Amino acid sequence: MKISQIFFLSLKNLADRKIRSILTISGVCIGFGFIVYLLSLGYGVEKLTTDQISSPDTLSIFEISLSEDGESRAIDDKNIAEIGNINNVEHVEAAAILPASINVGPVKNDTIVKAYTRKFFELEELKIINGRLFIEDDSREVLITKGLQKILNISDNESFFPALDVKIMTNLALSPTNESDDLILIKSLKVVGIIEDDSPSVIVPFKTVRSSIDLVNYNVARVKVIDANNLTETRRQVEKLGFSTNYIGDTVSQIKSFFNIFRFILMGFGIIAMIVALLGMFNTLTVSLLERTQEIGVMKSLGAKRKTIWWLFISESLIIGFLGGVLGIIMGNIAGKATNTIFNFYALQNGGRAVDFFYTPIYLVLVMLILSILVGLITGLYPAKRAVKIKLLDAIKYE
């Protein structure tokens, strides 16, 4: 008998026992659906977390800072040139971060001045939520953080963005011509944008700060590499120059390690549901074998080969497993989207924002499909083996 004939005969056998087949496939569907639902939750929360702290571009950038042991007191132009000549380095951009105080009319507050170039701002991947970036690196335009905006009670309306005065505390390592801890005033800096950041700081064009306080060195830099796969080696070469490096990918790796464990725990709950479904599937196939013992005897008397009978039971179990797996994947995704919709509805009602807690990568779907076939194959092996071993006379006499 051809495989196609065996397949259609298996479908007919399952259709003849509709209720039992539907219940068995439903059990497998629930088992697979539960696993897909839980793993999609794990992948979704991981993706949501990592997307908030990094993007594909940030994974090709690392930060250089002064070493904690005091070996490097500042980053100078010679250091920047050396780092720029390292293999795999595409671009190096330096900046300075200094303590300061800020005045907006009668309101005063301590803050941090970040002397950034436009290029450094791009590498930092800061998000402007209102307004724009300063036009030139020597302009008298600045950006402030959301945190500083709240402290200074500045309007969201760009038309009412104020001018402010900044007193920067000098650093001898960065500005050798000044006395240490001198306060140098930069007046009438126009606010042109607000950054999404809760810390109270202000970003001032680098050349504006440099010309005001004779800034010649830096205390922070960002390096963009050509190939992110070789970033670790590039970091090692930079650290040999006496600097510390920080990489967001280290945090991402720690998060992924945590979520790998988290998914294993979730999978454990799903496997319990799957085992229950498999027991139901095994029971269905075993009962089907007992009910069809005489039918097997008739088939053998008509010349059916052992291989044909074996494939008949295996194909039934494969159909049950595959249909249960496909429907389970669909059910798991629908349940995830429904949960997400309900959560986002209540989040938006309470002033929150919509997020996606569920994500089903394509490889998870493929793994589940392969697993459903394996489950069907393994579950059908015992009933198929018993069916093949049934003796012709015993099968015909069986009641």
Judge whether 224 lies within some domain: no
Q: How far apart are CA 380 and CA 219, in angstroms?
A: 67
More confident residue, 180 or 313: 313
Residue 189 is part of which domain span?
91-217
Residue 93 makes CB contacts below 8 A (sequence gap 6+) with 117, 119, 120, 123, 221, 222
Cβ atoms of residues 203 and 195 within 8 Å: yes
Highest mean pLDDT among 71-85, 116-130, 375-389: 116-130
pLDDT value for 263:
82
Same domain, 185 and 293: no
End-to-end C-alpha distance for the chain, whole angstroms: 27
Q: How far apart are CA 293 and CA 290, in angstroms?
A: 5
Same domain, 292 and 387: yes
Q: How far apart are CA 269 and CA 37, in angstroms?
A: 11
Q: How far apart are CA 143 and CA 117, in angstroms?
A: 12
pLDDT value for 365:
92
Q: How many residues does the chain have?
A: 399
Same domain, 9 and 124: no
Which among 1, 210, 185, 217 has a CA at the least distance from the CA of 94? 217
Same domain, 257 and 393: yes
Judge whether 385 lies within some domain: yes
What's the total number of domains in the chain? 2
Task: Give, in order, the Cα–Cα distances in Å from 334 to each of 11, 321, 358.
Answer: 27, 20, 10
Alpha helices per DSSP H over the chain = 3-16, 18-53, 77-84, 118-124, 146-152, 206-213, 231-239, 248-291, 293-301, 306-349, 362-389, 392-397
Would you tell me how many other CB atoms lie within 10 Å of the CB of residue 265? 10
Q: How far apart are CA 181 and CA 169, in angstroms?
A: 5
Rounded to the nearest integer, the mean pLDDT of the chain is: 83
pLDDT value for 47:
86
**The two structure tokens encoding residue 349:** 């009602």
**pLDDT confidence band for 119 (50 / 70 / 90):** very high
Judge whether 108 lies within some domain: yes
- Residues 251-280 have pLDDT tens digits of 888 888 888 888 888 888 878 877 877 788
Same domain, 99 and 150: yes
- Residues 207-220 have pLDDT tens digits of 999 888 888 889 89
Same domain, 298 and 342: yes
Last residue within a domain, chosen from 167, 194, 217: 217
Judge whether 298 lies within some domain: yes
**Verdict on whether the full-model pTM lies above 0.75:** no
Q: Residue 126 is inside which H or E element, if any?
A: none
**The two structure tokens encoding residue 33:** 């659906």
Last residue within a domain, chosen from 201, 217, 233: 217
Judge whether 244 lies within some domain: no
Same domain, 213 and 257: no
- Residues 276-304 have pLDDT tens digits of 777 888 877 777 766 666 666 666 666 66
Same domain, 212 and 263: no
Which among 65, 38, 81 has a CA at the least distance from the CA of 358? 38
Same domain, 261 and 366: yes
Q: How far apart are CA 23 and CA 14, in angstroms?
A: 11
